[in-house]
Structure 1
């Protein structure tokens, strides 16, 4: 079968299409025929060697790419039958085969039923980004107001929708041009990104917000908007600011969770979550997808189809 891998670090040109044996599932695993795989910023960081340089991925001769998968179960196991439409998350990123492939083997505990009635490309955008948003919200205890930076992004959009479902008051930060869609996700207040963020957020409520989900990695600028003793969640290694004014600072480290993913899938079926696809490309054009993502300006995920 065909898969995209990297054997050396660099730009999109280092992506290689290779022929590899079909992966063989072990106990408690399922083999999935990949119908769609989302392209995420972490894939670009893996390809460029950033994660290996940071000690997140150990040195490897071959690395697979791709965390998100939507497809069909080929081998029964873990409660899934052959032919089931599923979505799943690969959270072991130091393996030689990822979701950029015709087939992938995942632990059944990392897989969930695909959202019924949702196009497969849209379903493929759900696992990594929605789980990240959900697990980040699990880190905060507030029942009050939460600031979400990068609210127009994939993780940020899910975070806005999920925070509103929890009954939180959402103050969203994004480009001024994205105000309408971000409010459509469920934001109560909108603050355009720019300087003096803390002052502008605090103008909406005395003392600042109770918590912040900093998906845009603004660091201290976002922390300044949080009240003393509040909560702050960072979304990348090394992105957590110092805990000024007694703010509880934590980082979200994504993990596969099939049960939680099933809950998110059901919400997607109901149209509650903002599933957004920027473009669908064949797997053979993975390098072009990486170039497009690196260029920025996308709203929604690029998706590869074998």
Structure 2
């Protein structure tokens, strides 16, 4: 479906029983809503209604030009506006990678719209920032961000030689060449990769100001084979959640958890939803 929100047009892919508890799925970089294609059917079997959103920069109708338009605060407001358009007061919110960062901000800034939070790969923003400031290992893991923030240079390096470097990002994901191509092909469209990279270029320390502890029931799923997020940041996440919290570490899985371990992700989401329903 096409959802018009904040003068932008977002692609949203619904599924599952129409009367099921709603789950909003937020993708990361360099992916799109298709990263939930193996997870969503498992949620549907559990009776959940899913909405997979192609976020700002990924939906062709939601690609504003200014870099500042991709501030994480703007992306969080997109989620709220899409929920309004779908006439959903609140949802179980799930995000991976940048989608997780966006989900954290929605839960922190708009908690009334979030029944539960399941963040995959990326922990609370303060846990990541603290690890970057104190842990040399995390700084090394995050070094790629410097390249992604370089306008023009990043696009050239990632897209040259049939997007060889962009395809290599998915090493260890277990995806076939065809599976990788489903993510890479849309980014070959004019302006698509720049819009996706603008999430990195819009990063601003000011966006961390005023963020406290999350106060909605939260599950954090992390994999020990994640090249981007180390154990220092992952294990610090708990101290930034002032509600029921579950940490789900996965052994031998890469950063691409929804693709590589969809059952584990679905189980974590379903368990979180059931716990909330029971407590409620």
Instruction: State the TM-score, normalized to the length of structure 2.
Output: 0.29
Which structure has more helix as a fraction of its residues? 2
| Structure (1 or 2) with the larger CA radius of gyration | 1
Instruction: State the TM-score, normalized to the length of structure 1.
Output: 0.27
